[in-house]
Amino acid sequence: MHTMWKGSISFGLVNIPIKMFSATEDKDVRFRTLHKECGTPIKYTKTCPICDREVQNEEIVKGYEYEPGRFVLVENEEIDAITPETRKTIEILDFVHLEQIDPIYFDKTYFLSPQETGDKAYSLLREAMRRAGKIAIAKITIRSKESLAAVRLYENCIVMETIFYPDEVRSVEHVPGLPGNIALNESEMNMAIQLIENLATDFNPEKYTDDYRNKLLELIHAKIEGEEVQEAPNVPRAAKVVDLMAALQASLDATRQDKKEKGKGTASTQAAETKEPAKKRKRKASL
């Protein structure tokens, strides 16, 4: 696993040096977009519609649109100046019960493991949390972004879930068309409850697979097997390297042949000529 981050958990007077790893990975199948006509991956260019030309990166500034068509410009340095200092700490603030956090708050999960000197403190926190049956709420900084996190146990590992700030979770009030209290038929209700109970089971994640992804990959592999392959013009790196190698071998053969021919006339100096002096002369020329 690739270490994303090194830092520490601070917990009262205890400081636990840790490494952080991403706990989940996105397995979506990604596509590139090609020009249908020739199969070249298309390129996005940034253009200015008024100046009617392509704009380079160094010509681009950030603007905040405070009302339509009106911007305040913000320089990168100004953003840097107010960016929270990356102290790289997971600062534990409170301990709460996991059930008190609605899953809507959870964003991304990271595994935490102790660094070389953190074994004991890590085990201590892990065991204490297990016994207390509580999880920690902490403040963290990742990539200059401050966020809130829940620190909890998953199997034998301390994990950290970044959680949204309350104002990042939208209010249910704004969901359109939610029915209020509608009078329900009691026998229909009993039937619905019956149905739920019939489908009730234990959560077993292995049971669920991404059928769409599997079918998509099957489709793609079938096309590769069937050589239904579109090759981009101008970018056939593979063919180019092979040609280049052939050309290189031919050119080396030619120079060697050349050297042999030259050597024939003066048999006595042949050895000397094909060894050091020839190389040295060339080296000078190319350096």
Partner 1 sequence: MVSLLMKKSDEFDLEIGEYKLRITNPKKFLWPEDQITKLDYIHYLIAVAPVILPYLRDRLLTTIRYPDGIHGKSFYQKNRPEHAPEWIETQYWRETNYILPNNLETLIWLGNQACLELHVSFNKYQRERFPTELVFDLDPTDVENYELVLEVAGKIKEVLDSLGLFSQAKTSGASGLQIYIPITEHYTYDQTRKLNKFIAEYIASKNPQQVTLERLVKNRGTKLYFDYLQHWEGRTLPAPYSTRARKGGTVSTPVTWDEVKSGFRPTDFTILNILERIKNKGDLFSSITTEKKEQSLDELLAFLEQKQLD
Decide if residue 256 touches partner 1 (CB under 8 A): yes
Distance in Å, CB of 204 to partner 1, minimum: 25
CA distances for 156 relative to 47, 58, 125, 236, angstroms: 52, 48, 12, 48
Tell me which stretch binds partner 1 (CB under 8 A): 139-147, 158-166, 227-235, 243-251. 243-251
From the list 255, 257, 266, 269, which residue makes contact with partner 1 (rule: CB under 8 A)? 255
Alpha carbon distance 232, 238 (integer Å): 11
- Pair 147, 153: CB distance under 8 Å: no
By CB under 8 A, tell whether 241 contacts partner 1.
Answer: yes
In the complex with partner 1, the residue whose CB is nearer, 35 or 282, is: 282
Q: Which helix (H) or strand (E) holds 214?
A: helix 211-225
The site map against partner 1 for 199-238 (x = CB under 8 A) is: --------------------------------------xx
- Interface with partner 1, residue 251, by CB under 8 A: yes
124 contacts: CB under 8 Å, gap ≥ 6: 14
Q: Which is nearer to partner 1, 111 or 135 (CB)?
A: 111
For residue 68, give both structure tokens: 């339509």
Length in residues, the chain? 287
Report how far residue 148's alpha carbon sits from residue 166's, in angstroms, rounded to the nearest whole number.
Answer: 10
Name residues whose C-beta falls within 8 Å of residue 203's C-beta, 6 or more positions apart in sequence: none
| 244 scored as a contact of partner 1 (CB under 8 A) | yes
Reading the block at residue 244, the tokens are 């280049």
Whole-number minimum distance, CB 239 to partner 1, in Å? Answer: 8
Among 252, 258, 259, 271, binds partner 1 (CB under 8 A): 252
79 binds partner 1, rule: CB under 8 A? no
Q: Which is nearer to partner 1, 146 or 243 (CB)?
A: 243
Gap between the Cα atoms of 150 and 159, Å rounded: 8
Please give the residue ranges that form the binding site for partner 1 (CB under 8 A).
Answer: 116, 237-239, 241-242, 244-245, 247-249, 251-252, 255-256, 279, 282-283, 286
